[in-house]
Structure 1
Amino acid sequence: MPDFLLSQILVTFTLAIECYAMQLKDKNRLLALLSLSCLFNGAHYLLLGQQTAGFIFLFSSIRFLISIKWKRQWMAAAALCVSLIITYYTYNGLLSILGFMATVLITTGSFSKNDKFLRLMMVFGGLLWLIHNVLLGTPVGVLVELVFVGSSAIGYYRYYIAGRMKNINF
């Protein structure tokens, strides 16, 4: 099976997992599922020859699991340092920079104790990964990020905007 086709199959698992995960209210379950999705996404990028994105996602799988238990800012800083080291050693231009910037946003959100902030960082980080995937030319990867950003925005709306709208008396 060609690497490109296998990469698209693997990232399809990411798509299914993330669609479900971003609709969960329980932040720990959301982070656990994102950890699993990162394994598939990391393999997808490695098959496409994108080492920066691949290794960042494999490390992100571990980072999401750590952030379930510990929300210490120094751990977020350590995770960002590891991501920076990965980016430095695998650097291949604009795609590496976009991936790192997206990781900064998502890492900052995942170590936050605030679910609302987490979801906002997921939207903005997802938009950067969307640009990354468009430039890379991975069709299912683009779909993953479109759905991820859309699902994140819908989850944010459901939990933080729609509830407020019900309490407004006209």
Structure 2
Amino acid sequence: MIWVAQMLGLLSFALGIACFYQQQDLRLKQLMVLLNINNALHFFLLGGITACLSSLISALRNTLAIKFQSAWLATLFIAITLVLGLPLIHHPADWLPLLGSCIGSYAVFCCTGIKLRGIFLLGALCWLLNNIWLGSIGGTLLETMLLITNLRTIYLLRKQTGLINT
């Protein structure tokens, strides 16, 4: 069964790269919903219950974030993540996906463009540590590549807006 979990992790790796190559916020959020659903199953099979829960909440959150920008919704999803996630914490590493999910909630509901991707970098660091802890090969590759890809996209967006001279 572990090989199925690792294969799903590799699928997440591919979906994640596709996500952060997106320069349009809408397409980024749509792909993230698919990534979150796949990650939920991946983490469940690895025994990462807080990561599974955080991924499911993130899928719902990202679906709503396609249509809505709202600090109120960000606060609501942060609260939902903590209320449902806190009882599942049995190890300090269980905090990582909850923190990553809370950061993501703020990002998708309150940020756009370069700021959105910059905040995602912080969440990616939490998820990277979580994936290393769980032994997720695809997840570790995913978050490493997301950090690199997201930094590249931020650079390109800054270049397009004239914030970087060439």
TM-score range, shorter chain: over 0.9
Picking from 94, 97, 100, the partner of 2:95 is 97
3-state SS, counterpart of residue 92 of structure 1: coil
Higher RCO structure (Cα 8 Å, ≥6 apart): 2
The Cα shift of 1:18 comes to 1.4
Decide whether the 8 Å contact of 1:56 with 1:86 is kept in 2.
no
Paired residue for 1:22? 20
Paired residue for 1:166? 165
Letter in 1 for 2:163: R
Q: Distance in 1 between matches of 2:17 and 2:108?
A: 17
Q: Distance in 1 between matches of 2:27 and 2:134?
A: 30
The Cα shift of 1:157 comes to 1.0
Letter in 1 for 2:109: F
Decide whether the 8 Å contact of 2:50 with 2:88 is kept in 1.
yes
Deviations 1:57-77 (A, max 9, x none): 011111001011111111111
Q: Distance in 2 between matches of 1:111 and 1:26?
A: 15
Instruction: Report matched runs for 1:1-170 at 5 Å.
Output: 2=1, 4-161=2-159, 163-166=162-165
The Cα shift of 1:161 comes to 4.5
Letter in 2 for 1:40: N
Choose 1 or 2 for highest CA Rg: 1
3-state SS, counterpart of residue 164 of structure 1: coil
Deviations 1:44-64 (A, max 9, x none): 111111111001101111100
Q: Distance in 1 between matches of 2:30 and 2:21?
A: 13
Q: Distance in 2 between matches of 1:138 and 1:11?
A: 7
The Cα shift of 1:134 comes to 1.2
Q: CA RMSD in A?
A: 1.5
Letter in 1 for 2:101: T
List gaps (5 residues or longer) in structure 2.
none
Q: Distance in 2 between matches of 1:84 and 1:7?
A: 25
The Cα shift of 1:158 comes to 1.0
